[in-house]
Every structure is written in C-alpha cells, then in structure tokens.
C-alpha cells in the first residue's frame, strides 16, 4: 500500500474513533442493549458542531505523529517511517479508546464520575501524545530488531 493511503487511513481512524463509537460498543456490551437501542442511546446527543469540536482535539495527537513521520521521511531513518507510524497509531488509538471507555463507564455502572466526561474527553488527546510517542518508539524498536535478525541470517 503506498504511503499516501496510510495517511488517509490515519485520518479516517482519527475522524471515526470518537466517544460516540466507544459509547455504542459500551451500550452493546456493558449496557446489554440491542443494536437499535444502543445506536439511539450512543448518538442521542450527536450534533455536527459537537462532533467537529471533539474531532479537533482528537486530531492533535495524530497530527503530531504525522509531523514526526514526515520529518523522518527526509532523514536517514526514512525506512522506519511505516513501523513508527503504525506503532504510534496503535498507541494513540488504544489510549483514546481506553480513555473514552473509562470516562463514559459511570453512565452504565451507576458509579459517580470523578470528573465530567466532556472534560476528560478533551484532555485525553493531550495524554495520547506521549502514549503515541511510546508506540512510535516501540514500532521503531521492532523495525530495528527485525532488520538485525535479517542481517544476522545473511
């Protein structure tokens, strides 16, 4: 797959993984709702303005990752760009999904939330940057180990 498709995939994931998608999964699994009930519950408060607002925040860690990979493309480390991209993408996506899950869990368990879920959803993007960096480093490490093994076999 050419590199531009990876960036389009990255953008698509950044746009689609939001708290509504996580809430739909939570309504199905934790809330034991049927698909139609879960869909209505998850998207009851959906508005285009709100979606774009939260997407702007969610896009922040992904844009940091893209900038790092674009910088790598013009350096001697350009061969490691794809593993770094995939590792960072996995870290950011997992952190945002986990954070959204934890922020919205009190809705289904009856617990008292520690903070308003909207604030937590905004600040998750800031916390996803170092997690994405760790994922990118893990991707780079896997790339180095794989290349070392390949060179060792020859």
The pLDDT score that the predictor gives to residue 1 is 41
The pLDDT score that the predictor gives to residue 76 is 83
Contact 72, 136 (CB under 8 A): no
Say what the pTM is. 0.80
Task: Read off the pLDDT of each residue in 96-117 and give the average, rounded to a whole number.
Answer: 82
Tokens representing 145? 């180990």
Average pLDDT, the chain: 83
Total residues belonging to the chain:
154
The pLDDT score that the predictor gives to residue 82 is 85
Q: Is the pLDDT of residue 7 over 70?
A: no
Please state the domain extents for the chain. Answer: 3-153
The pLDDT score that the predictor gives to residue 133 is 94
3-state SS of the chain?
Answer: CCHHHHHHHHHHHHHHCCHHHHHHHHHHHCCCCCHHHHHHHHCCCCCHHHHHHHHHHHHHHHHHHHHHHHHHHCCCCHHHHHHHHHHHHHHHHHHHHHHHHHHHHHHHHCCCCCCCHHHHHHHHHHHHHHHHHHHHHHHHHHHHHHHHHHHHHC
The tens digit of pLDDT for each residue in 27-66 reads 899 888 888 888 988 888 888 888 888 888 888 898 899 8
The tens digit of pLDDT for each residue in 81-99 reads 888 888 998 899 889 999 9
Neighbours of 49 (CB within 10 A): 7
The pLDDT score that the predictor gives to residue 129 is 94
Q: Is the pLDDT of residue 12 over 90?
A: no
Task: Read off the pLDDT of each residue in 107-117 and give the average, rounded to a whole number.
Answer: 76
């Amino acid at each position: 797959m050419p590199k531009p498709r990876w960036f389009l995939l990255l953008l698509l994931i950044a746009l689609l993984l939001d708290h509504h998608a996580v809430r739909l999964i939570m309504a199905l699994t934790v809330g034991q709702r049927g698909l139609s009930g879960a869909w209505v519950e998850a998207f009851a408060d959906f508005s285009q303005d709100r979606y774009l607002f939260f997407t702007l925040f969610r896009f922040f860690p992904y844009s940091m990752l893209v900038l790092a990979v674009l910088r790598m493309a013009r350096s001697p480390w350009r061969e490691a760009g794809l593993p770094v991209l995939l590792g960072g993408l996995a870290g950011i996506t997992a952190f945002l999904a986990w954070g959204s899950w934890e922020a919205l869990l009190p809705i289904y368990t009856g617990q008292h939330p520690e903070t308003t879920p909207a604030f937590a959803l905004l600040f998750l993007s800031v916390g996803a940057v170092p997690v994405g960096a760790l994922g990118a480093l893990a991707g780079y490490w896997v790339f180095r180990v794989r290349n070392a093994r390949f060179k060792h076999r020859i």
